[in-house]
């Protein structure tokens, strides 16, 4: 089937579509481009809708279970970079594909640093967009299936929560991020700088003292269940493989 041109977007409608994959929110103020993206993704088996402002994105995310945000940077009033920074700072964990006419390396690096999962410059081949969306879909399915278990501790990466002996732990978002990083690297020594880097998308940098405070709080919540985070002096922290104390 031949390509169809839609402004700077070249729409390629495949002969076959797939079963529904993701719910995609397109944040794009160019109506022609937004409509073209919506139709293309729907033909690929995704559920896709579009809004044209950052405020519209916030409203949509409150009422729908979104898996992927395709985000234009040149939005009116609140630009995409500002929205992305705020979104990640408030705990938004959906995949974000930045789609923009800004193709400078510094812009790409800035977008990825703020928490974008991928970056595609306009104009683009729709086949490449579809491939990138599919890759994010596969990555999301892996993450949704992942549950980290460590003795009585269970960390559900999809639902962003942790339980001990089936009871939910009361954790701040930073505590959950640190907990996930530590227990994803059992039997490895994790330095304070690595912990800071693991949650680098937050607005405020995390100091070594702040890391110590969060670790102390995590210990207070975990040690009653026999789960320990060891301090390796001068190096960082270590979580050993779980060994039941029962004979």
Q: 176-211, pLDDT tens digit by residue?
A: 989 988 998 888 888 888 887 666 544 456 788 889
For the cut 90, the answer to whether the pLDDT of residue 14 exceeds it is: no
C-alpha–C-alpha distance, residues 108 and 81, integer Å: 11
Go through the domains of the chain in sequence order and give each one's CATH number: 4-145 (3.40.50.2300), 147-238 (1.10.10.10)
pLDDT at 205: 63
pLDDT at 111: 84
The H or E element spanning position 149 is strand 147-150
3-state secondary structure of 32: helix
Band (7; pLDDT cuts 50, 70, 90):
very low
Show the tokens assigned to 127.
């086949």
Which distant-in-sequence residues (6+ apart) come within 8 Å of 31 by Cβ? Answer: 52
C-alpha–C-alpha distance, residues 196 and 106, integer Å: 22
pTM above 0.75, yes or no: no
Show the tokens assigned to 63.
């009422």
The H or E element spanning position 112 is helix 105-114
pLDDT at 94: 87
3-state secondary structure of 226: coil
Is 122 in contact with 87 (CB distance < 8 Å)?
Answer: no
Residue 157: CB atoms within 10 A of its CB come to: 18
**Tens digit of pLDDT for each residue in 69-103?**
999 999 999 999 999 999 988 878 889 999 888 77
* Mean pLDDT of the chain, nearest integer: 82
3-state secondary structure of 17: coil
C-alpha–C-alpha distance, residues 205 and 211, integer Å: 11
User: Which long-range contacts link 155-158 to residues 24+ away (Cβ below 8 Å)?
Assistant: 155/179, 155/180, 155/183
For the cut 50, the answer to whether the pLDDT of residue 8 exceeds it is: no
Return the bridge partners of 237, or none: 190, 231
Higher pLDDT residue, 139 or 189? 189
C-alpha–C-alpha distance, residues 131 and 97, integer Å: 12
pLDDT at 112: 85
**Tens digit of pLDDT for each residue in 90-137?**
878 889 999 888 777 888 888 888 888 888 888 888 899 999 998 888
**Tens digit of pLDDT for each residue in 228-244?**
999 999 899 999 888 76
Band (34; pLDDT cuts 50, 70, 90):
very high
């Amino acid at each position: 089937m031949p390509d169809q041109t839609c402004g700077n977007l070249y729409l390629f409608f495949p002969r076959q579509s797939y079963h529904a994959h993701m719910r995609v929110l397109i944040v794009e103020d160019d109506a022609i481009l937004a409509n073209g993206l919506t139709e293309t993704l729907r033909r690929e088996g995704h559920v896709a809708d579009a809004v044209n402002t950052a405020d519209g994105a916030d409203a949509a995310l409150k009422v729908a279970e979104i898996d992927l945000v395709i985000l234009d940077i040149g939005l009116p009033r609140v630009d995409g970079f500002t929205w992305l920074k705020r979104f990640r700072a408030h705990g938004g964990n959906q995949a974000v594909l930045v789609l923009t006419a800004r193709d400078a390396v510094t812009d790409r690096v800035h977008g990825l640093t703020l928490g974008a999962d991928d970056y595609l410059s306009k104009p683009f081949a729709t086949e490449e967009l579809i491939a990138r969306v599919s890759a994010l879909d596969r990555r999301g399915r892996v993450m949704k299936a992942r549950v980290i278990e460590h003795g009585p501790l269970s960390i559900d990466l999809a639902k962003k929560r942790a339980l001990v002996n089936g009871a939910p732990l009361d954790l701040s978002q930073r505590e959950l991020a640190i907990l996930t990083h530590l227990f994803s690297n059992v039997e490895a020594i994790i330095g304070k700088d690595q912990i800071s880097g693991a949650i680098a998308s937050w607005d405020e940098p995390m100091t070594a003292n702040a890391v110590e405070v969060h670790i102390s709080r995590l210990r207070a919540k975990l040690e009653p269940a026999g789960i320990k985070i060891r301090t390796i002096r001068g190096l960082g922290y270590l979580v050993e493989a779980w060994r039941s104390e029962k004979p």
